[in-house]
Structure 1
């Protein structure tokens, strides 16, 4: 297994269709990134939930997941579960978000997600963040749509358990779902950890990457 250790991150963008998508998909990674890069700026966009209790849940959760970094969260008010019917509005929100930041890496839903809102956002992210390293996170739910990931971020046990704890604490509107519990979230992180030879991990699909090679200058003697 090849490890790619990125240089110090200055800015990260995280995008979700719904309040709780980011925390489910990349919550533990945000904890790890924040600890390693305390001066980082985290730009977050959620496309639905503005003006509802869900927005309050999201603000509390992301504040707890990014406690020591510069968090800049925008929650828009597009209709939940109807984003494909509002393609233009989604595109405009993403375009405005793109103009507000220049991240080193972008996290968003993965293209193979069966939920129509997640899938649309995944398809549109590369149309705005064209020159960025983009990863697709997985959202555990009842559909059988977990991807075959290409990228793994090892997670400490403290971060894994903190993520599960915050999901339960910060999203009371979701705890009635039979899949929304500590055992499920820790179980998936444990499986991803096994796949990269760590205790816990979060895993991602890779949108596109360019490997840079050192260039050498050749001189010609006349």
Structure 2
């Protein structure tokens, strides 16, 4: 497969509709990215729902574990779970405010084909705010059969994906009663994406938009 390299990441933005979306979608990538840099990048996180709740506490602990040593900033809103479309204007305004706090080298957000209305709305709004950025849409394992056809793969080691699964199970106790929220499910998906890019494991993304250059710049 063709390798594409993004060098010198100084800032990244990670956005989710719910506390745990970011960890599920790119927890392994965050662990790998932070571990591979001499100076960890600044991580700006934005979540639509869970403000001042048990879930926000879970999110703060989990992201700290996924980004050890990084300068982490987390913004959590109070949009009710499952009701994001009814809060379009408030979400758009909050996103625009968040955009002014950072200048990320890459933006991670849900992908547009996600079946959950909260994920999908956020995926549609992110490119309207981060208009000139590399935006990668991540997948969120869940009950709905909305697994995307990814275009970008980030290879991961088994050690990394096992650590991701450990962090998910440790720091999101409110979610462990879901029948899909277990180590086998998380490792199974990363192994499938690994097969598709000829690596042991991987996380996969949908590229929002990019330009391609041939020859000299």
- TM bin (shorter chain): over 0.9
Give, in whole Å, the separation in 2 of the partners of 1:86 and 1:206: 26
TM, length-normalised to structure 2: 0.97
Which residue number in structure 2 is paired with residue 78 of structure 1? 79
Which residue number in structure 1 is paired with residue 63 of structure 2? 62
Contact map agreement 1:192 1:202 (CA 8 A) in 2: yes
| 1:48 alignment partner, SS class | coil
Which residue number in structure 2 is paired with residue 32 of structure 1? 32
Q: Tell me how far 1:39 sits from its aligned partner.
A: 3.0
Unaligned runs of 5+ in 2: none
1:22 aligns with 2:22: yes
CA displacement, residues 144-188 of structure 1 (integer Å, 9 cap, x when unaligned): 000000000001111100000011000011000000000000000
Greater C-alpha Rg: 1
Which residue number in structure 2 is paired with residue 183 of structure 1? 184
| 2:108 alignment partner, SS class | strand
Unaligned runs of 5+ in 1: 217-222
Note the 1:89-168 alignment, pairs <5 A: 89-168=90-169
Q: Tell me how far 1:207 sits from its aligned partner.
A: 0.3
Give, in whole Å, the separation in 2 of the partners of 1:43 and 1:156: 25
Which residue number in structure 2 is paired with residue 220 of structure 1? none
Contact map agreement 1:112 1:145 (CA 8 A) in 2: yes
Give, in whole Å, the separation in 2 of the partners of 1:171 and 1:25: 14
Give, in whole Å, the separation in 2 of the partners of 1:44 and 1:213: 34
Q: Tell me how far 1:111 sits from its aligned partner.
A: 0.3
Give, in whole Å, the separation in 1 of the partners of 2:88 and 2:171: 29
Q: Tell me how far 1:212 sits from its aligned partner.
A: 3.6
| 1:43 alignment partner, SS class | strand
| Equivalences, count | 216
CA displacement, residues 181-202 of structure 1 (integer Å, 9 cap, x when unaligned): 0000000000000100100100
Give, in whole Å, the separation in 1 of the partners of 2:6 and 2:62: 26
Give, in whole Å, the separation in 2 of the partners of 1:76 and 1:129: 19
1:170 aligns with 2:171: yes
